[in-house]
Amino acid sequence: DVKVTQSSRYLVKRTGEKVFLECVQDMDHENMFWYRQDPGLGLRLIYFSYDVKMKEKGDIPEGYSVSREKKERFSLILESASTNQTSMYLCASGLAGVSYEQYFGPGTRLTVT
């Protein structure tokens, strides 16, 4: 079974803090994704990566950056957290060319106060 894990289930941070969300997958997938999920807005893609050190912006990249130094690990970074970044963050991975079937992690619920 594919396993996608995220470093924290719940996280509370203060405005202005730098926040790291980590995602690890164990299936050697080329593609990895970060989404945020908000009521009434569904899942929105923040960034994705199709290879180590490769990244592309999704629909809402502002205020975020990412890092992929190893194939199995994809990190989402909030350089200076703001209250409007309070959300559920979901990581996903998928095979190149067959990326329709994305496997999701359990999510991190981030609250910025």
Partner 1 sequence: EDKVVQSPLSLVVHEGDTVTLNCSYEVTNFRSLLWYKQEKKAPTFLFMLTSSGIEKKSGRLSSILDKKELSSILNITATQTGDSAIYLCAVLVRTGANNLFFGTGTRLTVIP
Q: How many residues does the chain have?
A: 113
d(CA 33, CA 77): 13
Is 43 among the residues that bind partner 1 (CB under 8 A)? yes
Nearer to partner 1, 17 or 38 (CB): 38
Is 104 among the residues that bind partner 1 (CB under 8 A)? yes
d(CA 5, CA 88): 14
Nearer to partner 1, 75 or 102 (CB): 102
Is the Cβ–Cβ distance between 9 and 27 less than 8 Å? no
Is 31 among the residues that bind partner 1 (CB under 8 A)? yes
Among 4, 23, 66, 78, binds partner 1 (CB under 8 A): 4
